[in-house]
Structure 1
Amino acid sequence: MKTHDNVIKSPPGALLLTLLGVIGFSGSMPATRAAVPHLGAVTVGLGRACVAGVLAALVLVVTRSRSPSRHQLWGLVQVALGVVIGFPLLTARALTHVPASHAALVVGLAPLLTAAWAVFRTGERVSRWFWLVSTSATLVVLTFCVISGDGRLSTDDVWLLLATVVVSYGYAEGARLSRELGGLRVIAWALVIAWLPTCVFVVYCGLPDPAGVPLSAWLGFGYVSLVSMFLAFVVWYAGLARAGIARASQLQLLQPLFSMLIAGWLLNETLPRGLWLALGALLPLIVLANRTRVPSAK
């Protein structure tokens, strides 16, 4: 057996789709941070689903998508709870107080958790080397977070960790369903399912006075509604389904660094000194994670 037979390469097109999703998600934290002080955590966290849900419904009608089966419907409910409701609301709550760069680093744990959920939910098999490389990459992110922060686990960090758990489950479940429905239909149906309860809750909590909201907040809200909540998910789920959930999800380890660069550029947040060192440590680990061999069935 040749050396290169010991690795399985993910399709380049699938990895490109996954990377495009990561780039789209990278603007989520800075955009949320820009909008939350003026629109509130509930409006930004759940209001995005109200806007994206309308677009999703139109797409489903135009494409004449068939309704999901009963089995698929339960999976879509789980996706909606994780990525449409849980993650946006919890991160918006935390971003009321913490910088976008800090939140991005904590959420950087999502790739490893997504891989774990993929093994649990879809039966994907990964080697010990995969777990070693993924754990090493996660430790890089955590170390970066501790060094750049004050070393304490605040209430906002708890919200962010909970958000990471639920969104990683939503990623894995959505990618599993994408093999049957396609990435577009998965996020579209999840948004349609969550549309009514999220809109009712947003209205119940009270809408902000639009007259006092600056343009930057509206732009941030528009970004999380159209890109973060819909368009990025379409390519993200498609990429995960084609390349393998556990392996391709490791590209998301780049997201905290992308988010921090965006936060520093648009929000003038101070970037930690170890940013480039962390990037240099993460890149080779991500390459290794995408080339680790899946154990052969015995």
Structure 2
Amino acid sequence: MTSDIAAERRTAFVLLTFMALFFGGTWVAGKVAVDAIPPMTLAALRFSIASALLWLWARSKQASGRAPTVHDLPLIFGMGLTAVAAYNVLFLYGLKLAPASDGAIIVPGLAPIMTAALAAVVLGERIGRWGVAGLLTALAGLILVMNPGGAQAPGRLLGDFLFFLGAACWGIYSVIGKAATTRFSPVNATLYGTVTGTLMLLPFAVAERGWNALAAAPLASWIGGLYLAVFGTVLAFVFFYEGVKRIGAARATTFAFLVPIFGVVSSVIMLGERLSASTVAGGALVLLGLWLVQRQPSVQRGQDASLQPAK
């Protein structure tokens, strides 16, 4: 029995490490893909593929639970809007303006902190002294990463602000997701939100008229787009879900610390981005803030398998 438990834990650690690696890689993949594929077209492509794969996976898992009713539509609409449609528009337009490493620090670092703050306001969860300290520390880190008083490339500050709004969207989604998983299984909640968000994106993708650019995009951009769909969406969620089943949500969510690290390292290695001293210092403060927030017991208990790290 003890050896079985140890084996389950090792499996979970491997799955969750790859989950963080896949999420961290979305910043590089998105940067490469959006260089040639228009943002709305890319987002619609990503989630059309992801919706189909998640549906197949949900079928294979024979996910139980009731079908959604008309009373569930506002909740499902909110998940699709915040986690898929709005978040990915901000994510991709941010990548057109700012370095991938900025986004890899700001979004996955701040999203859990945004979740804690919103849960305190909306759900009445106690944030505690550790949570307050984490919020203030992460805010200081965000200011350093954005470095508004320093020399910035044109548009970078705006791109970083879009990343900040993306983190806010993910925080809102996480709060909505807590309500959703009282009605649906994590698998079904994620599937419903993903399909709904995809349907929201499709009209904008058609209006963008980006299909010619998609057809003419280089192989690297296609690989980036497919990575976003398969690795950065489907496999990352599946691995997180399987990890949670083995070691619980509280332990699984601590692997969120690895997402910014993998994202920044891959941006430096694969894109040749250079990190300024303020970016490194700011990233360290954001991670410290995330660690402080995770020390708050109520935050850890509030996590569940549908609330994977921001990507």
Instruction: With the length of structure 1 as denominator, give the TM-score of the two structures.
Output: 0.76
Cα distance 1:203–1:134, how it changes in 2: closer, same or farther (>3 A)?
A: same
Please state how far the C-alpha of 1:263 moved relative to its aligned partner.
0.8
Cα distance 1:208–1:175, how it changes in 2: closer, same or farther (>3 A)?
A: farther
Secondary structure at 1:133's aligned position in 2?
Answer: helix
* Amino acid across the alignment from 1:26: G
Secondary structure at 1:256's aligned position in 2?
Answer: helix
* Amino acid across the alignment from 2:76: L
Distance in 1 between residues matched to 2:244 and 2:149, nearest whole Å: 31
Please state how far the C-alpha of 1:33 moved relative to its aligned partner.
0.4
- 1:56 aligns with 54
Please state how far the C-alpha of 1:251 moved relative to its aligned partner.
5.7
- 1:126 aligns with 127
Cα distance 1:179–1:87, how it changes in 2: closer, same or farther (>3 A)?
A: same
Please state how far the C-alpha of 1:278 moved relative to its aligned partner.
5.7
Please state how far the C-alpha of 1:100 moved relative to its aligned partner.
0.8
Candidates 181, 191, 210, aligned match of 1:178: 181
Cα distance 1:140–1:159, how it changes in 2: closer, same or farther (>3 A)?
A: closer
- 1:27 aligns with 25
- 1:94 aligns with 94
Moved more, 176-185 or 43-52: 176-185
- 2:106 aligns with 106
Please state how far the C-alpha of 1:54 moved relative to its aligned partner.
1.6
Distance in 1 between residues matched to 2:149 and 2:258, nearest whole Å: 17
Q: What does residue range 151-166 of structure 1 map to in structure 2 within 5 Å?
A: 154-166=157-169
Cα distance 1:137–1:170, how it changes in 2: closer, same or farther (>3 A)?
A: same
8 Å contact from structure 1 (residues 115, 249) kept in 2: no
Distance in 2 between residues matched to 1:276 and 1:284, nearest whole Å: 12
Cα distance 1:72–1:91, how it changes in 2: closer, same or farther (>3 A)?
A: same
* Amino acid across the alignment from 2:101: S
Please state how far the C-alpha of 1:215 moved relative to its aligned partner.
1.9
8 Å contact from structure 1 (residues 42, 205) kept in 2: yes
Please state how far the C-alpha of 1:32 moved relative to its aligned partner.
0.7
- Alignment partner of 1:259 is 2:263: yes
Secondary structure at 1:101's aligned position in 2?
Answer: helix
* Amino acid across the alignment from 2:197: A
5+ unaligned residues in a row in structure 2: which ranges? 1-8, 300-311
Distance in 1 between residues matched to 2:284 and 2:266, nearest whole Å: 18
Distance in 1 between residues matched to 2:102 and 2:52, nearest whole Å: 32
* Amino acid across the alignment from 2:202: C
- 2:224 aligns with 220
- 1:47 aligns with 45
> Number of matched residues?
285
- Alignment partner of 1:136 is 2:137: yes
- 1:194 aligns with 197
Secondary structure at 2:110's aligned position in 1?
Answer: helix
Distance in 1 between residues matched to 2:291 and 2:126, nearest whole Å: 18
* Amino acid across the alignment from 1:259: G
5+ unaligned residues in a row in structure 1: which ranges? 1-10
Cα distance 1:280–1:154, how it changes in 2: closer, same or farther (>3 A)?
A: closer
Q: Give a deviation string over 1:17-49, Cα, whole Å, max 9, x none.
A: 776654432112211100011111112233211
* Amino acid across the alignment from 1:186: A
- Alignment partner of 1:290 is 2:290: no
Q: Give a deviation string over 1:200-251, Cα, whole Å, max 9, x none.
A: 4323322134553222111110111123233324555788999999998676
Instruction: With the length of structure 2 as denominator, give the TM-score of the two structures.
Output: 0.74
8 Å contact from structure 2 (residues 145, 282) kept in 1: yes
Moved more, 212-221 or 232-241: 232-241
Distance in 2 between residues matched to 1:240 and 1:180, nearest whole Å: 19
- 2:206 aligns with 203
Secondary structure at 1:38's aligned position in 2?
Answer: coil
